[in-house]
Amino acid sequence: MLNPWPEPKLKLNDNNLLPLPDEEVVSEDELEAPSRDDLDTDSEDGHDNKIEVNASMSLDDTIIDHEIEAYEQDTDKIETLCTFLEKYKPTKECIEKRETILNYLETEFRKKYPNCSVRAYGSFYNGFGFQLSDLDKKETTIQVLENLAQSMESDKNMFKGVEIMRSARVPIIRSIHIQSNIEIDISLNNILTCDIGDASHGTLSSYAYIIMVIHFLQQIQPPVVPILQQLNDNQSTNTSNVRKYADWNIYFYDDLTQLNKVWNGYGLNKLSSGELWIELLRYYTELFDYEKNIVTIRQYEPLSRLEKGWFRQTIAIEDPFILTHNLADTLFLKIILNISADAQWIQNGTTVAGGHGSGSATNQLQGPEGLFVDDNQTVVIADLGNHRIIQWKMGDTNGQVVAGGKGQGNQLDQLCGPSDVLIDRVMNNLIICDQRNQRVVQWSRRSGTTEGEILIDNIKCWGLAMDEQRYLYISDTDKHEVRRYQIEDKNSTIVAGGNNRGNALDQLDWPSYVFVDLQQSVYVSDRNNHRVMKWDKGALEGIVVAGGQGEGNALTQLNWPKGVFIDILDTIYVTDDKNNRVMRWPKGATQGIVIVGGNGDGEGANQVKGPQGLSSDRGGNLYVTEWGNNRVQRFSIE
């Protein structure tokens, strides 16, 4: 039989590392880090930085080409993949080599930053790396990266090709460790590299992941592990399948010495670990019914969401010890974008809605205001002049009216000048600021919905936002404040303004659009004060984060700020209505950067006329509603 894995042109040495041409591979002893007794040097600038490191070594292209070619020819893809994983899994020597490099880097970096620490993350850290994986690291400013790069460049025998990748989404130092040919990436305080399983950051806990794995191992045929709650041996001391605690049955079969006798599936599954890994991915991407079922390890039969009353639009995972607890409740549905500090956008936009003049046809808009972009890049628009909410799916030439559209009025099937809209992802409802009716209404997105429901009335609303706890934030242009509500609860709390109209830090003047981050800080476009304000949770006054230098068109100024959102670096993105531009204000900056528009008030693809609402998709592409051109433009990130 033909060997599916052809011999590579380049050989691995005894340490499972690829040497450079004409380079001698050094021993572990030669790579040993200096003693920490030599690290008493104080930092030059007093910074206390935490550096985190990823180590990975790129597979040689020749090896990859051979392996992929063989993989494509092999009929048993899973077996081949498992063979590949087994062949290139990290050896003990390979791991020790990387640890040696990490120790050396930490020693060198502490000469300049005594309190820093270096730790690995990424594929080699989480166990998904190969013998030939690269090494990644974590440190925030370009200046600090430059200092570290200088330290690495000074050691000509240790590193080569030291380069700062300023254009990367997260700026990094890239270099190669000479003796081992390991490629090293260094970033500074990269929050995207947090450990797996941190529920406090809106992800699943490691406990939840374990439940998901056990559930899969129970469901695969033949199963790998039994469902202990459904096993019973009448010959053992456990003669009943009931063991009550409070109102719950906490029985499970616990005589594991007899498991092979009472469980018919014992030892039947012969899949390797690699094959099981592929099947786990297939199960949760293709087979599991997220809309109907809950992940459970208590029973083989499907456990329905209806039975539990769990309808939140994320995966549902039952805690086997607290049956009322959904382990996926910690998942954040709100996405805070990670956009590189020096990102740029293509200056010619693409019209994705409207653009056919002012009118009421389904390919037209009339005075569009706020908008919301969902995960499928469907754009939902508050079409103020047509008293309707209309949505455009990607590539559509005509929109679909999803709320209102029955003429101006205050009946439940009507809207009057809607100014903003968002999607409640949990309940799959539209939340609409029905501005001229002075109410907030919700409309189900399910087909057949013909009218809405009043959530809050007697409020001169304009902008809407929702946080992860489903609190609703509404700007009131009459009372010059932003209030927080619980859905279906008319009681509220003032979270910004509320001290009459004014320009003091505890005041607002015609607040338009709002945005809420994961810490429940509220960002408000304070229109008539020509500024964007940030109010931390519980704060009695806000801080100016953009504008605030009076009305004008300088880079330090705004003129009627409207749509607003932030990214993961707390950079402000805001439409500057009367200046016909979209601006970006980095955290702490005293002036902004024009990223879209700023080319007059025409109808060109590089112009935005009276920009109002502002949103983005997960890729960082910008969506802008234009009051003056009755369209929505999409500006793609480069």
Give the span between the Cα atoms of 135 and 479, in whole angstroms. 55
Look at residue 40 and tell me if it is in a domain.
Answer: yes
Q: Are residues 189 and 203 in the same domain?
A: no
Neighbour order of strands in the sheet with 522-526:
511-516, 522-526, 531-535, 543-547
What CATH number has the domain bearing residue 207? 1.10.1410.10
Using pLDDT thresholds of 50, 70 and 90, give the confidence band for residue 87: low
Residue 304 shares a structural domain with residue 411:
no
Which of 119-123, 458-462, 488-492 is the most confident on average?
458-462
Longest dimension (CA), the chain: 86
Model confidence over 99-157: pLDDT tens digits? 888 888 888 878 877 777 776 665 555 454 555 455 444 444 566 778 888 888 888 88
> 212 and 304: one domain?
yes
Q: What is the mean pLDDT of residues 618-633?
A: 96
- Asked if residue 282 has pLDDT above 80, the reply is yes
In a domain, 433, yes or no: yes
179 and 320 in one domain?
Answer: no
Q: Indicate if the pLDDT at residue 521 is higher than 50.
A: yes
For residues 412 and 519, membership in a common domain is answered with: yes
CATH code where residue 450 lies: 2.120.10.30
pLDDT of 53: 40
> Does one domain contain both 410 and 549?
yes
| Residue 515 within any structural domain of the chain | yes
Is 409 found in the same domain as 494?
yes
* 438 shares a domain with 308: no
- Structure-block tokens of residue 405: 């559209």
CA-CA distance, 493 to 480, in Å (whole number)? 14
Lowest mean pLDDT, pick from 316-320, 352-356, 510-514 = 316-320
Query: pLDDT by residue (tens digit) across 249-278?
Result: 778 888 888 888 899 999 999 998 889 999
**457 closest CA partner among 482, 474, 481, 480:** 474
* CA–CA distance, 431 with 382 (Å, rounded to integer): 11
Of 13-22, 368-377, 400-409, least confident by mean pLDDT is 13-22
What average pLDDT score do residues 313-341 get? 82
In the predicted model, is pLDDT for residue 525 greater than 70?
Answer: yes
Domain match, 177 and 255 both: no
**Last residue within a domain, chosen from 153, 175, 193:** 193
Q: Who contacts 75 (Cβ-Cβ below 8 Å, separation ≥6)? A: none
Is 521 a domain residue?
yes
* The model's pTM: 0.60
Q: Is residue 345 part of a domain?
A: no
In the prediction, which pLDDT does 164 show? 82
* 208 and 232 within one domain: yes
Q: Angle of helix 92-110 relative to helix 142-153, nearest 10 degrees? A: 110
Please give the average per-residue pLDDT across 374-384, as a whole number.
Answer: 94
- The order of strands in the sheet holding 581-585 is 561-566, 572-576, 581-585, 593-597
Asked whether residue 269 is assigned to any structural domain, the reply reads: yes
For residue 67, name the pLDDT band (cuts at 50, 70, 90): very low
In a domain, 287, yes or no: yes
Residue 585 lies in a domain: yes
Amino acid of residue 183: E
Specify whether 91 is located in the same domain as 165. Answer: yes
Q: Is 90 exceeded by the pLDDT of residue 543?
A: yes
Task: Please state, for a pLDDT cut of 90, what percent of the chain lies above it.
Answer: 51
CB environment 461-497: b (16+ within 10 A), e (fewer): bbbbbbbbebbbbbbbbebbbbbbbebeeeebeebbb
Residue 100's domain is classified under what CATH number? 3.30.460.10
pLDDT of the residue at 199: 57
Q: How many domains does the chain have?
A: 3
Given pLDDT bands bounded at 50, 70 and 90, which one contains residue 293?
very high
The answer on pLDDT for 589 being more than 50 is: yes
More confident residue, 115 or 25: 115
Is residue 355 within 8 A of residue 630, CB to CB? The reply is yes
Are both 320 and 365 inside the same structural domain?
no
Amino acid 433: pLDDT: 98
5-9, 149-153, 386-390: range with lowest mean pLDDT? 5-9
Q: What's the chain's average pLDDT?
A: 81
Q: Which domain holds residue 481?
A: 350-635
- Residue 524 has a pLDDT of 98
End residue of a domain, out of 167, 193, 219: 193
Whether the per-residue pLDDT at 191 is higher than 60: the answer is: no
pLDDT reading at 504 higher than 70: yes
Predicted local distance difference test score (pLDDT) of residue 202:
61
Helix 61-73 and helix 77-88: axis angle, to 10°? Answer: 150
